[in-house]
Each structure stands twice: as C-alpha cells, then as structure tokens.
Chains A and B, each alone.
Chain A
Amino acid sequence: MPTNPKTNRTGSRPTSRRAVARQLPHGLTAQQCREMYHKMVQIRHFEDHAAEAYAQAKVGGFLHLYIGEEAVAVGAIAAAREDDHILGHYRDHGYALARGCDVQACMAELFGRETGICHGRGGSMHLADAKRHFWGGHAIVGSHIPIGAGMAYAMQYLEEPLVVLDFFGDGATGNGIFHEGLNMAALWNLPVVFICENNLYGMGATLAEESPVSDMMIKAEGYTMPAVQCDGMDVLSVYGAVQQAAEHCRSGKGPFFVEALTYRFRGHSMADPELYRDKEEVRRWRELDPIPRFGDFLVQHRISSQQELAQVNEEAEAEMLEAVRFADASPWPDPSTAARGVYANPIDPEAAQEALTLAADPAPAAS
C-alpha cells in the first residue's frame, strides 16, 4: 500500500517581507528558497528535454528521469555544505543539477559527446563532478552505499569537517550491500547521511513485493542509527530532515538515516510500459507535485510573485534549449582516444626494451 506523504504546509499569511523572513522554517532565507525553487525547475526542464532527445534517438541506453522527485535532491543538497560529498544512484540528473554542475556538460554527457561532464564515457547513469564533490551516479543498485561510508571514514580520519550524502532507492534496501554499508557506518560512527528515496517501486516491483516493511527507516533501527521520515514532495520537509541529519553527523554523533517519501511521475526508465501501477495512483501523486506546491509557498510568503516564478520557468526552458543545442553541436569523442584513461598510471610492458634477468632464487621447490 502506498504511503501518503504528510503535507507540511504552513498556513500563515505574513504581512511584510521582513516578518516573512523571520518565519521561514529551518532558518532559511528568502534567497535560499528562491534558489531551491530555481533548481527544482531546472531539473524538471532538463528532464523534459532529455526525454525528448531520447525519443529522437539523440540519447541512448537507459534514461531514468527524476521528474516528481526534485524536492529530494534539491532540499537535501541545499541543506548540506557546498563541499559536503554526494553520491547517488543512476537516477542522477537531479543530484548533479542540485549541486550546480554545468547544465550543458550534463546534457552533452547524455548525448555521448566529448564535451560531456565525463567526456561521454559514463552517460546518463554515471554523471560526476569531482571538483564539486559529486562522486557519481552509480548504476549497480546499492554499490555506492559502502563507498559513501568509506569516504566518510576518510573525512573522519583526515579530520575534515565534511559529511557524505548518499542517495539510493527503496529497492536498494533489499540488497546485501545496503546492510554491509549501514553496519560499517554505524559500527565506526561515520559522518554519512543515508537518504532513501522511497518512491514505492523498485523498477516494476512494488514495495509490498520487495520489502517486509513499508517504512524504510525501520531498517536503520537494527544498526542503532537515528532515522527520520520526511515528505519528499515538500522541499522544506526534506531540507529540515537533512539539516538535522547533517548537523548530527558533523558533530561526531555518527550516521543518520533519512527516508524521503516520494514518487516518480514517469516510468522507471524510458522503456517502462508501467503495467504495475494504475493511472489513478499517478494522478493522485501528481497533485502533490513539489514544484507548484513550493511555488505556492513562495507566493503566499511573498518571497516571489507569480510573475517571478513564471520567469524562472521561462529562463530554465531557454537554458535547457541552449543546452540541447550545445550538446547536439558538440563533437563526438575521437575514436583514437577510446583507450585513454583506463589507468591513471598506464604501464606499457611493450615499451620496456631490455629483459630483466634475475639470479635464480635459492628457494627450495615444494612437493
């Protein structure tokens, strides 16, 4: 049974901008709120254009859209320091854009071009931007969960005050690697926030088919990990949860588990005929669309006007059109470079000319 997210709206009607600012939850400023709205809109438009390009066969392979789930990446990443580390799964465009990665380079990656953020080597499922501490897009379900714990160990060891945000889906919690990662993170008290995007499905498996519990946060309990659930369709709810979680981690109290109740409006990937869920369910969730919902909040709190929101949407549309144009016009990777970068330190035995001759070791031959 799908869980219904609690709506978390504030109903107050402040009278002046100054009064408003004081009443914003979680210590947020009006400017931060506008930025979160902007990021969610960017992601939505990016995904729409990615889908269109896929339909035109300009994007290949598997394409997983984040439409409907924008509030999770945006709220969580906004609540972290801008140099906190991020890892996520293959539905990764949202993490990249929320972290501020170059939109054109992300689109060019989907197009498989040399100008792509990974030079066309990774594709949609493997975006990454090390200089922004976004460590990928990981397409083996759950694989990045212990990797995030290991990064958190390095932060603790090197005494850097950074935390790791590690995003994954409800489906990943059925995999052993999830449990190995949580076990180690809790055992060693590591600064990692595990963020489970519970969107009720793991590809075509419903929650009831893949998990004995419908609340993923229960799985953190066995590892004595504090956990909260938040409304993944409400960017403020996600922000509040991850703010609390990151503070907890940064103060040395160990890992924290955040479960965001969310929903993908589109299929699992572009190849999904969506036979496992009914249209009525999708319609109900679409009513909770995080973007107009947060837009209403901004207008009610006089942080933005309707015209300003419309302008944000127009600008994002123009930005994505430009990104598609850029990607489409970008050069393909040169086939002569295909073998480049397999190793950071390539060793070529062919280049070594003279033979290495050693004295026979006096070690006795066994058996």
Chain B
Amino acid sequence: MAELTYREAVRGALREEMLRDQRVILMGESITGYGGSYAVTKGLVEEFGPKRVMETPIAEAGIVGFAVGAAMGGLRPVAELMTVNFALLALDQIVNSAAKFHYMFGGQWSVPLVVRTVSGFGQLGPTHSQTFEGWFASVPGLKVVMPATPADAKGLLLAAIRDPDPVIFIEHSLLYSTKGQVPDDDGLEVPIGRAAVVREGDDITLVSYSRMLLQALHAAEVLEREDGVSCEVIDLRTLRPLDYPTMVRSVGRTHRLVVCGEDWRTGGFGASLLSELQDRSFDDLDAPIARVAMRDIPLPYSRRLEQVLIPGSQQIVDAVRRMS
C-alpha cells in the first residue's frame, strides 16, 4: 500500500498500462507541455513521447471520432476531454459511433476506447459546473465509471483500458487532491460493474458515487454521533452496468434508502436509479426513497449561491432526519 492522491492514482494507472501495452496512447487538449488542465498527464509526454501522448486541436468531436478510429485500427486510445461540459461537443461520436458499432455491425468489431473526463465545480459559472453522468449512463453500449477513491480510480482505470468496450471514465475535480491507500501491485484491477459497501450499517442505506461518497460518509458519522442512526454507505463506482443486487441486499436489511448525487433532480442519474429500486425493493421499503440532488438551476458563479446549491453532507443528514 502507498498513500497517493487521486490525481497520482489516475496518472499511475495510465503510466503502468502504457508501460505494459504499447498500443495504449493518450490524446487530448493541453495534455503534453501543460500537463493536462488538472495536471493528470504531467510528465507522460516526456516519458513516452508525442506519438503516444498526443497534443490535439480543440476539437472534442474530432478527438473522440479519431480515438474510435484508432481503436478500430488496433490501438487502445485513452482520450481526455478537459471537462464533461466540453464532452457535449463529442456526444455524437460517443453515442452514435463508440456505443453503436459493436451492436450495429453485428458484433464484427468492438471499440476499446476510454474517454476520461471531469465533473465538478468551484465558482466556474453555469457552463463549467455540470454533471452529465445520467446522459452517458442512459446509453446502451457504453460503460460508465465514476471512482471516488484513489484506489478505485487506479484499479477501475486499468480495467477500463483493458476492456474491449467504450468506457466513459468520469473523474471529479474536487477529488484530485484527496489521498488514500492504493495497493502497490502493478496492474491490479477493480472490476467494472461492482458497487462497494464502504460502511456497514443497519438503519438506512445511503447510495452515492464520486464526490458524494465522501459527503455520505461524513453524513453517516454525524448521524451516528448526533442521532444514533446507523447508516450503510454504498459507493456505486460504476453507473453502467449498475450493481442493483448490492443495493437491493442492503435495502433488504435497512428498509430505508437515500440516493445521493450532484446531478439535476429532473432526469438526472438518481431519478432512473430510484425508479428501478422502487420496482425491485418496494416490499422491503418502510418509507419512500429520498433523493439528494442538484436543484434544477444552472449553477451560478457567486460563492454565496454556490454554497447553498451544491448538494453535500448537510442535505443528506436533513434527508435522513426527514425520513425518521
């Protein structure tokens, strides 16, 4: 075990897999000299050269289309889209190319592509403060991964690069500097499609992912201390395919559930998760499923407004208290 930041863990996975597999290439905007807008790829062009770490024009659709073609030609591209807000320009290539080819062409080839991108906020204003994991997770043919811890960031990225299908790998800007223990073993994967029970509890289940895992853990501590409520905290880690059995098992014991996310309330990822769980766990539930989500407002710049709008541990605590 070594203590690494989330950023170092992502970089470590890229580096290890590039050393192991010559077919792995990186491409993205300002990922060479600049080191990536969140400094994830710093040092990699010096180590692997510009053929394997490609500085690209500012052309998100072109980058993903190009990466799809490179994957079809035998490479293992990892394309970085600076933030998920800019990934919107590449939606067509992600949805109509990457996600479709294996199925649509009768299984003749697959697209082993990873698109790395970043969610988050921090006084960036409405165009730069969004989360769209629900959109990606609604597309059959994609796998969608959102790690919360350094260990998962590394292990899931290794799994994503080795996977023959297109994987959307969404990092979180507010997690890059968080630290955690990461196994030393080279190349140890964390399986895609498996949630983790990060904290065991008896009274209520908090389902979370990415930054919201930290918020849920914090809320669980507060509720334990102040209310004597024991929360079980689940980290989904993969949003598609989604590990319902782990959630269903947990709700079978706790009979209460709060779904926590940073996405918009209307049509966000949590909405479809909630609807499916209502279906699967109705008989186990003692109360309606509660949801913590972003209000349906573009996230404004002002610190004062941001503070009250971004969902965090307080909203989770409030949601749990309303249920009991």
Contact = CB atoms under 8 A, between A and B. Distances in A.
A128 B180 contact: no
A146 B69 contact: yes
A158 B73 contact: yes
A180 B67 CA distance: 13
Interface string A128-152: 1111000110101001111111111
B313 interface: yes
Q: Which 6 A-B pairs have the closest CB atoms?
A: A150-B69, A154-B73, A180-B62, A365-B218, A146-B65, A344-B110
Contact of B215 (A145, A147, A188, A366): A366
A350 interface: yes
Nearest to A148: B69
Contacts of A150: 65-73, 77
B141 A157 contact: no
Contacts, number: 220
A358 B73 CA distance: 39
A128 B110 CA distance: 13
Contacts of B249: 355
Given A143-B65, A154-B74, A367-B310, 14 more contacts: A143-B92, A144-B97, A146-B69, A147-B66, A149-B62, A150-B72, A177-B65, A341-B106, A345-B164, A349-B241, A355-B246, A355-B249, A358-B235, A361-B217
Contacts of B221: 365
A219 interface: no
Interface in A108-125: 116-122
Nearest to B59: A180
B194 to A, nearest CB: 5
A118 B64 CA distance: 24
Contact of A349 (B71, B108, B243): B243
Contact of A121 (B96, B103, B215): B103
A180 B241 contact: no
Interface in B237-280: 241-246, 249-250
B102 A342 contact: yes
A153 interface: yes
Contacts of A154: 69-70, 72-75
Interface string B63-97: 11111111111110100000000000000110011
A180 B245 contact: no
A299 interface: no
A121 B105 contact: yes
Contacts of A287: none
B106 A352 contact: no
Interface stretch (B34-42, B197-205, B281-289): B197-205
B245 A367 contact: no
> Interface on chain B toward A: helix, strand, loop, or mixed SS?
mixed
B126 interface: no
Contacts of B140: 342
Nearest to B102: A344
A157 B25 contact: yes
Most A C-beta atoms less than 10 A away, residue of B65, B70, B174, B310: B65
B19 interface: no
B103 A358 contact: no
Most B C-beta atoms less than 10 A away, residue of A152, A356, A361: A361
B93 A143 contact: yes
Interface in B84-127: 92-93, 96-97, 101-110
Contact of A136 (B59, B105, B218): B105
A348 interface: yes
A100 B233 CA distance: 57
A363 B241 CA distance: 26
Contacts of B97: 138, 140, 143-144, 147
Interface in B132-158: 140-141, 143, 148-149, 151
B56 A184 contact: yes
Given A121-B106, A154-B74, A343 B141 contact: yes
A143 B101 CA distance: 12
Contact of A363 (B73, B179, B200): B179
B188 interface: no
A117 B107 CA distance: 10
A275 interface: no
Interface in A335-354: 340-345, 347-350, 352-353
Contacts of B163: 345
Contacts of B179: 363
Contact of A357 (B59, B64, B107, B196): B196
A362 interface: yes
A194 B68 CA distance: 18
B320 interface: no
A196 B209 CA distance: 46
Contact of B199 (A135, A158, A350, A360): A360
Contact of B69 (A147, A360, A364): A147
12 contacts: A146-B59, A146-B63, A150-B65, A150-B66, A151-B72, A157-B25, A340-B107, A343-B165, A357-B200, A358-B198, A358-B235, A363-B214
Given A122-B105, A128-B108, A130-B105, A153 B197 contact: no
B65 A349 contact: no
B10 interface: no
A349 B194 contact: yes
Nearest to B222: A365
Most B C-beta atoms less than 10 A away, residue of A118, A144, A184: A184
B195 interface: yes
B105 A366 contact: no
A153 B57 contact: no
B198 A361 contact: yes
A182 to B, nearest CB: 9
Interface string B149-186: 10100000000000111000000001000111100000
B65 A116 contact: no
A155 interface: yes
A345 B165 contact: yes
Contacts of B141: 342-343
A146 B61 contact: yes
A356 B104 contact: no
Given A347-B193, A356-B195, A363-B214, A181 B246 contact: no
A147 B61 contact: no
Contacts of B102: 341-344
